[in-house]
Structure 1
Amino acid sequence: MRPIDERAIRASFRNASRKEVSDLNLPAGFADIDFDRIDYLGWVDPKAPRRAYVITEVDGEFTGALLQQAEQRVIARAQCSWCEDVTLRNDVQLFTARKAGPAGRKGDTIGTLVCANFGCSENVRRLPPLAYEGFDRELARDLRIVKLGEHVRAFLAGLDA
């Protein structure tokens, strides 16, 4: 992901009001983020723990969404819809996002199960276990990175659907 600054972050949201964007709190350690190692920027608002944000590049433009974390945690051991990690070391949480435009004003939302700490970029960069003799672990990792980007972009595209 290309580096992004605070101004571009605030301008990227498709489903947030001006007030919600002005109330946004940047993630802790924002200045230290290694953008070469992430496929999207996702964080829980440190001052509003049920509010989260996700931003990635779609067709060369930054696109972001305001997310709402479900009140209850997922009880069963669910799989993250974005990184599809089957060896999860962290929790998965249901996040919903109000759709953009008239649909969102009517109350329409979309939802997805995502790693609670938004650690998908780290998860997909781990070498997968050897599935069989001759299994190309590096290729499998590269494909997981590509699929993560596709899943996040597809979720953000759903804001306009």
Structure 2
Amino acid sequence: LSPSTGHRSIRTSSKPRPAKPCDPKSPCCRRSLTIDLDQSNNALDFVIYPRQFDIGECIGSCDTSGSSLQYTQAKNDQQKNKPHAAYNLVFLHHHGRNNNSLAATRNHRADKESSRCCSFSRTGGLELTYTTTVNGPIIKKYIPNMTVESCRCGLPATIQQV
């Protein structure tokens, strides 16, 4: 919060914070995941700048017993879906906020340790320059929660924007 205005300051730079390298002693850390729009299909041609950016991803194992079926499945899914890490990030956030079923509530206490996963603990935004139509106006917009800033072991994260 800004002391003079009482409003939260928003970082508008398109340059994310430099990522800390993975600590070999940490079970969970952020790894660079670069998106290169020049190497993708034409679906994202409307983005003018940046054409390449690091969204990051969380990697590591957080299971204390090493035998959790949930951990094994999550790790296998993570390895198979590397190109879709951004989509997985959104899915984890959505799943963590909307999973209110009775079964999940009943099993929450018993599965607390075995469901711990390496997930994002803080996200950052990205300033994009884009157009919505050919020869249309150029728009510059800050989009929150586009990059992984830090990771932690725990239940799927609640986003803390920087």
Which TM-score applies when normalising by structure 2?
0.29
Structure (1 or 2) with the larger CA radius of gyration = 2
> Scaled by the length of structure 1, what TM-score is found?
0.29
Judging by fraction of residues, say which structure has more strand. 2
